[in-house]
């Protein structure tokens, strides 16, 4: 499995934790930055992660900013992207089962590192259910 990861300064420390966690599991992580806690603009990191997911260079993306909202809104401008803002593992599971989310977005300033790891674990192992959800997701991409 390959994952693209990105954050702004508010998500930087959580990004380091999640990158280390994934690499320890043998998962390849393509890190699109940011690489310090210096103030930056979250769209600059949302777009390269979203493009990498759209091009199918990776299986999933993981992005984070302070609230998760800014970086999530930016990623969802991409036609092939379904980025889901998740704050617990049940929501992360449902984002895969029902929405076929391909990017997990986390609110770095409002989630513990333990809960963030649970979200990542749940997100990457859960399959899309298809069925009635297939048509709903298609109505998103058809628009
Ligand atoms: C940065 O201060 C903060 O605005 C950003 O991380 C994010 O929360 C925006 O949605």
Residue 69: what pLDDT?
98
Instruction: Give the whole-number percent of the chain exceeding pLDDT 90.
Output: 100
Question: Which of 65, 78, 86, 119 is flagged as catalytic?
Answer: 65
Any ligand 1 atom below 6 A from CB of 108? no
Residue 65 annotated in active site: yes
Nearest to 5 by CA among 125, 26, 17: 17
- Domain count across the chain: 1
Residue 66: what pLDDT?
98
Buried/exposed 2-21: b ≥16 CB within 10 Å, e otherwise: ebbbbbbbbbbebbeebbeb
Residue 98 annotated in active site: yes
Any ligand 1 atom below 6 A from CB of 66? yes
Buried/exposed 104-133: b ≥16 CB within 10 Å, e otherwise: bbbbbeebeeebbbbbbbbbbebebeeeee
Exposure on the CB side of residue 140, measured as CA atoms within 13 A: 16
Which stretch of DSSP H or E encloses residue 107? strand 103-107
CATH of the domain at 133: 3.40.1400.10
Q: What mean pLDDT is predicted for residues 31-56?
A: 98
Residue 133: which pLDDT band, with cuts at 50, 70 and 90? very high
Q: 137: CA distance to ligand 1 center in Å?
A: 28
Residue 40: what pLDDT?
98
Averaged confidence pLDDT in the chain: 98
Domain limits for position 111: 2-142
Which residue, by CA, sits nearest to atom 8 of ligand 1?
66
Joined tokens for residue 59: 């299986």
Q: 10: CA distance to ligand 1 center in Å?
A: 7
């Amino acid at each position: 499995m390959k994952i693209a990861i990105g954050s702004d300064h508010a998500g930087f420390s959580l990004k380091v934790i999640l990158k280390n966690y994934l690499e320890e599991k043998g998962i390849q992580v393509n890190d699109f930055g940011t690489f310090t806690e210096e103030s930056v603009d979250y769209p600059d990191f949302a777009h390269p992660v979203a493009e990498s997911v759209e091009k199918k260079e990776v299986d999933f993306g993981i992005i984070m900013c302070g609230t998760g909202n800014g970086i999530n809104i930016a990623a969802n401008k991409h036609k092939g992207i379904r980025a889901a803002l998740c704050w617990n593992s049940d929501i992360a599971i449902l984002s895969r089962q029902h929405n076929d989310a391909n990017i997990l977005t986390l609110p770095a300033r409002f989630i513990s590192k333990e809960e963030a790891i649970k979200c990542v674990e749940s997100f990457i192992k859960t399959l899309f259910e298809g069925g009635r959800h297939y048509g709903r997701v298609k109505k998103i991409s058809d628009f």
